[in-house]
Amino acid sequence: MSATIETIRDDFSFLDEWEDRYRYVIELGEALPPFPDSARDEAHKVRGCVSQVWLLTDRDEGENPVIRFQGDSDAHIVRGLVAIMLALFSGRRASEILATDAEEVLRSLGLDEHLTPQRANGLRSMVKRIKQDAETALQPA
């Protein structure tokens, strides 16, 4: 994915209307790479999301591995939120993922006050799953 969290933050600052921001979030979701059908299963499903959300995790070897995520959703706006979380977390070391305050990022984008409670809870579930994967990656083999 080409959008970084910094690019997303900059783009959000140029969009004054929430309708425009929602359209942008949907566009971010549309730009996600195709998600493998083989990973659309219970093992990759994120619990706690009203919409269907799947997350695939890949990591390097080592004590503090780089972790890459792929994700998808069956809902357009949620797919865009998945894209934002991937921009925030994917391609970072496990320790960086654990140190990242996703809630602060959402506040900086203004998303925290514009998401329905169900979507906000689903987003928290996704962050929790990403951080659990990072914790697991830091456990000695």
Cα separations (Å) of 44 from 12, 53, 58, 62, 118?
30, 8, 12, 23, 20
Band the pLDDT of 2: cuts 50, 70, 90: low
CATH number of the structural domain spanning residue 118: 3.90.1010.10
- Residue 71 is predicted with a pLDDT of 96
Give the residue numbers spanning the domain of 20: 5-138
Least confident of 35-39, 57-61, 120-124: 120-124
The yes-or-no verdict on residue 49 having pLDDT over 80 is: no
Burial (Cβ within 10 Å: 0-12, 13-18, ≥19) of residue 76: middle
- Residue 88 is predicted with a pLDDT of 96
The pTM of this model reads 0.93
Average pLDDT, the chain: 91
Rounded to an integer, the average pLDDT of 3-18 is 90
Q: What is the pLDDT of residues 19-41, one digit of tens each?
A: 999 999 999 999 999 999 999 99
- For the chain, what is the domain count? 1
Rounded to an integer, the average pLDDT of 45-65 is 91
**Could you tell me which residues come within 8 angstroms of residue 71 by beta carbon, excluding any fewer than 6 positions away?**
32, 35, 53, 54, 55, 56, 82, 83, 85, 86, 126
- 9-23, 24-38, 115-129: which is most confident: 24-38
Q: What is the pLDDT of residues 80-92, one digit of tens each?
A: 999 999 999 999 9
The yes-or-no verdict on residue 14 having pLDDT over 60 is: yes
Q: Which residues are catalytic?
A: 49
